[in-house]
Amino acid sequence: MSKRIIECVPNFSEGRDREIISQITEAITSAADVSLLDVDPGEATNRTVVTFAGSPEDVVQAAFAGVKRAAQLIDMRNHKGAHPRMGATDVLPLIPVSGVTLEECAALARDLAKRIADELNIPVYCYEAAAFTPERKNLAVCREGEYEGLSKRFATSDGAPDFGARAFDDSVARTGATAVGARDFLIAVNFNLNTTSTRRANAIAFDVREKGRPLREGNPIVGKIVKDENGEPVMRPGTLKGTKAIGWFIDEYGIAQVSMNITDIATTPLHIAFDEVCRKADARGVRVTGTEIVGLVPKRAIIEAGKYFLKKQHRSTGISEEEIIRIAVKSMGLDELKPFKAEEKIIEYMLEKQNTSRLIDMTCRGFAYETASESAAPGGGSISAYMGALGAALGTMVANLSSHKAGWDERWEEFSIVAEQGQQLMSKLLALVDEDTEAFNRIMAVFAMPKNTEAEKAQRSAALQSATLYATQVPLKTMKVSLKVFDIVRAMAENGNPNSVSDAGVGALAARSAVLGAQLNVKINAAGLKDRDTAEALIAEAAKIAEQAEKLEREVLDIVNSKIG
C-alpha cells in the first residue's frame, strides 16, 4: 500500500544569514505535516537548498509558506552570490517519491505557481515537466539574464512569466521571480573504480553518459573534433539516456570514480546504470568495486535493483523489503566505502522514523501486551488484519520454499510471482492493523469536541457519523484483502512444496479468522450509522464475503487433508 509522498527542494537566495534561513524553514515545518530532511546553506553562492517531504497536499502548503516567508525576509536588490538566481525563492521543484506520478506533480506545480502569483504577487515561470512550452522545460531558459535581466524580459511577450505577468515594479524588484516545476527524482551516484586514473574514469563516463563525447577524425582520443555547419562539435551519444557523468579522483578514498547524475530514473534505473558502467569499465580493463549514493534515494530505486539481481539469479523476488534491499546493497557494493544505512538513505524510511507509534513496528511480545492492556485499541479489527497478514505470510513462505526446492529450478518464476502477490497482500493487511486503530481513535476524538451550542452539537454529530462510517469501511477493507489470501494459500496447497502443505492450511485458517473477525467489526460499527441504507448495504456486503471465506477455507483444508492423508 504505497503512501503518496512527494519531495520539494526549494532554493532560497540566502546562504549567509542563519536567522533568515531558520525563519524560512520554521515557516515550512509549521505550515503543514512535512518532514524536513536537509538544510544546506552555501556561503559563496549565498543560497540555501532545503529538502522536505510528505503528502502532496502538505508539501504544497508548506512550499507556499516557505515562498511567502522568503519574500518577506529576502530583498533581491541587495543579493549577490556565485550561483545563477532570479528570485528570493529561486527554484521550487516538486518531485514524486511514491504513489504519485510525475504528471500529477506537474499539475500540482502549476496550481502552486498560480497561487504564488495570485496571493503573493510574485511572478512565476513553470519549468521542466510543468512547463507550458518546450523551451521552458529548460530552467536556464526561464532564468535567462537572472535577476538583473527581469526588467528587460518582462517588457517582451516571449520573456513574460507564465503567471503574474506585469511591468517590473517595486514589488518585483524586491522578490524577483520564481521558477516552479516538477521533475523526476535525481539520483547522484558515484561508481568506485580499481584505478587512480582520472583519464580512464572520464573515458568510461563519456562512454555511458547521454551526451557522450565529441566525434573525432582518425584517432578517437587526439584526432581533430568534427564540427557541424554551425561550428558546434558533433557528439557521439553514450549508452545511457537521462544521465550526466564525469570521471574524477577522490583523495579521501584514493580511487577514481565515475560520478553520475541520473536525471530520468524511469528510463535509466540505478541498477541498469551500474551494470552498464561495469560493462564499459571491463572493456577498458577496469573494474567497478562498489557504488556510493550521494544524498537520499527513493525506496523504489533500491527495491527495483534488488529484484533485478534476484531475477538474474533465478531466485524468488517475493521476499521481505529488508532482504531485497540487502541484495541490492551487496550486488552494487553500496557499503564498500561506508555502511549503507537504509533508514538514513531511503526517503520513505526517514519519514517512517518520525512515526514511532505504529503497532506493526512492535515486537510480537509488545503487540500482545499492548492488546491485553486496559486500552481499547488495538482491538478486534487490528487483530483481524494481523491474522490476515499472517495468513498471507504463510502462503508466501510456501511459495518461496517451493521456488528453491531441488529439482523445481525451472519453476522458480511461477512461485516468485505468487510470493510477490503474497507480499503485497501482507503489506496491505499490516497497514490495516494501524488503520483500524486510527479509525477507533477518530471516534474517540469526536467525543472531545465541544457541545455547548446547537451549532457545536450539529458539528459534533456530523463528525461522529463520518468517523463511524470510516470505522465501518476499514474492517470491510480488511475482509476484502483477506479474502484474496485464499488465492495464495489454495495455489500453494495444490501446487506448492508438499512438505509445507500444512502451512498453507494454517494460512487458510488465519485468513478465514481475519474475514470473520473483521465482519464483527463491520456489524458493530454499522450499528452506529444513522443512514440505515448505507449501514445495511455494508453489512450485506460483509456477509457475502464471510460466506465466500468459509467456503474457500473448506476447499483449501480438503486439499491439505487429502495430501497429508
Catalytic positions, written as ranges: 83, 436
The answer to whether the beta carbons of residues 91 and 145 sit under 8 Å apart is: no
User: Which cell numbers in the block locate residue 373?
Assistant: 492492556
The answer to whether the beta carbons of residues 146 and 129 sit under 8 Å apart is: no
Residue 541's region, left for phi above 0, alpha for psi from -120 to 50, else beta, is alpha
Helix (H, G, I), strand (E, B) or coil at 250: strand
Cell 505470510, residue located: 393
Helix (H, G, I), strand (E, B) or coil at 406: coil
> In sequence order, which residues have a C-beta less than 8 Å from that of residue 168 and are 6 or more positions away?
150, 151, 154, 155
Q: Return the DSSP state at 184.
A: P
Helix (H, G, I), strand (E, B) or coil at 160: coil
User: Which cell numbers in the block locate residue 96?
Assistant: 514524486
User: 181 has which bridge partners?
Assistant: 93, 127
Cα angle 238, 222, 220; round to 5: 40
Q: How far is CA 314 from the centre of its chain?
A: 27
User: Which cell numbers in the block locate residue 357?
Assistant: 507509534
Q: How far apart are CA 549 and CA 482, in angstroms?
A: 9
Residue 180: enclosing H or E segment and its boundaries?
A: strand 178-182
User: Which cell numbers in the block locate residue 157?
Assistant: 511577450
Q: How far apart are CA 414 and CA 403, in angstroms?
A: 8
The answer to whether the beta carbons of residues 291 and 189 sit under 8 Å apart is: yes
Biggest CA-to-CA distance, the chain: 89
Helix extents (H) in 244-341 = 270-283, 299-312, 321-332
Q: Return the DSSP state at 297.
A: B
Q: How far apart are CA 270 and CA 98, in angstroms?
A: 16
User: Which cell numbers in the block locate residue 507?
Assistant: 494460512
What is the signed CA dihedral for 207, 208, 211, 216, rounded to 10 degrees?
10
Q: How far apart are CA 553 and CA 511, in angstroms?
A: 8
Q: How far apart are CA 341 and CA 1, in angstroms?
A: 23
Query: What are φ and ψ of residue 98, in 5° steps?
Result: -155, 145
The answer to whether the beta carbons of residues 199 and 111 sit under 8 Å apart is: no
